[in-house]
Structure 1
Amino acid sequence: MDDRRELTELVSRLGLWLDDKSFDEGRALFTEDAEAHTLGGVAKGVDALVAQARRNHTVPTQHFITDRLIDVDADQATIRANLLVVFAHEGGPRLLGERYELVAARTEGGWRISRVQARPIWEVANV
């Protein structure tokens, strides 16, 4: 049960990392070879992933991550979750509904995300 609690916290920290724009703390969340596949592009390696997040999160955001389903198999875990993200643009907010498919690996420093796949479901702009 401790693994699931730690993985749940890791996913919550991912959302806060993006919202707080604390991009310099990426190595506390991701493995060195982490990959991200999102609407903002594909990034491979933690430095590229951090650069992509910094480039695509310039306005205030709020990430709501819910309905986490976690499967642990030894030192690997898969996490599926619903994501609602709000981008607060001056012309009006942009809302995205997505599904997260995350892979995490147990490292010496604890659980780290090794893959982020964000699958868009819907979008509403300037509401």
Structure 2
Amino acid sequence: MAQNDPALLIDLVTRLGRWLDEKRFDEARTVFTEDATADTVGGSVRGIDALAAQARRNHPADVATQHFITNPLIEVDGDRATIDANLLVVFASPTDRRVLGERYRLEAARTPDGWRLCRVAAQVIWEVPSV
């Protein structure tokens, strides 16, 4: 493990939240590997293009989101890492609000371009339904 790997992985997790909130779906390759998978409340997909399409579908342009990703627990094993973290996400459309509390289980791989996520799994722990 390189001394700065934990800081780089925290930065990667922060970029994941910003990627979703700022709807930068065309920039998926700055966050994910080509063969990345996602298992979330929005569905299960494999491959970066399918992952970006799912994110775009579940985070529409007219719905503001804010992802609070906290308490990352990072384990690095060579060029692979796991990151467990808490996630609080707010969806705010013009007509309603929805809040989810989830647990993230992320896997990352060191690539020539730096750390990238190769797996995102999110488990819903609680939800405040639309109000």
TM-score calculated relative to the size of structure 1? 0.98
Residue 42 (str. 1) matches residue 47 (str. 2): no
Match of 2:30 in 1: 28
The partner residue of 2:69 within 56, 65, 70 is 65
Aligned length: 127
Matches of 1:126 and 1:50 in 2, distance apart? 25
Give the letter aligned to residue 120 of structure 1. Answer: V
Q: What are structure 1's unaligned runs of at least 5 residues? A: none
Residue 90 of structure 1: how far off its partner (Å): 2.6
Residues 1-127 of structure 1 correspond to what in structure 2 (within 5 A)? 1-58=3-60, 59-127=63-131
Residue 91 of structure 1: how far off its partner (Å): 2.7
Q: What are structure 2's unaligned runs of at least 5 residues? A: none
Matches of 1:125 and 1:88 in 2, distance apart? 12
Matches of 1:43 and 1:60 in 2, distance apart? 23
Residue 47 of structure 1: how far off its partner (Å): 0.3
TM-score calculated relative to the size of structure 2? 0.95
% same residue: 63
Contact 1:36 1:117 in 2 (8 A): yes
Give the letter aligned to residue 87 of structure 1. Answer: F
Runs ≥4 in structure 1, deviation > 4 angstroms? none
Contact 1:84 1:97 in 2 (8 A): yes
Matches of 1:70 and 1:124 in 2, distance apart? 28
